[in-house]
């Protein structure tokens, strides 16, 4: 698993699968945010599948998708709200980790 820390409270990774949830929890993460829309590519696990595995493991889970239109003001606001509600540290994922990094930077900027 390729987890890249951004700061002490937030890290990003490429797409995760339900069977990786135990590893994520063992690494100390308390929350997961999905920045990937469902159906972006064939075979991609759905938000619901990963959410169920995360919640079964006692992790908080949020879906703040960033699609082909890029970051929208609504997505950034949704990320701010999710981060305010989540226990830290947070692992966010998308296809490669790039969108999860960018939306976090924008959310931090918006929060001041």
Map residue 90 onto helix, strand or coil: strand
Which residues contact residue 39 at a Cβ distance below 8 angstroms, ignoring those fewer than 6 apart? none
Number of compact structural domains in the chain: 1
Query: 16 — phi, psi (to 5°)?
Result: -105, 170
pLDDT of residue 110: 85
CA atoms lying within 13 Å on the CB side of residue 80: 14
pLDDT at 79: 96
pLDDT tens, position by position, 12-59: 999 999 999 999 999 999 999 999 999 999 999 999 999 999 999 999
User: Which domain CATH number covers 33?
Assistant: 3.90.190.10
Does 97 have pLDDT greater than 90?
yes
> 83 is in which domain, residue-wise?
4-111
- Residue labelled with tokens 């064939």: 42
């Amino acid at each position: 698993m390729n987890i890249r820390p951004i700061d002490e409270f937030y890290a990003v990774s490429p797409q995760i699968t339900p069977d990786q949830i135990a590893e994520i929890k063992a690494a100390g993460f308390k929350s997961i945010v999905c920045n990937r829309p469902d159906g972006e590519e064939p075979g991609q696990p759905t938000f619901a599948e990963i959410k169920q595995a995360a919640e079964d493991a006692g992790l908080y889970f949020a879906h703040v998708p960033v699609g082909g239109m890029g970051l929208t003001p609504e997505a950034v606001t949704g990320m701010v709200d999710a981060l305010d509600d989540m226990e830290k540290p947070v692992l966010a994922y998308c296809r490669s980790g790039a969108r999860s990094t960018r939306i976090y930077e924008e959310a931090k900027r918006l929060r001041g």
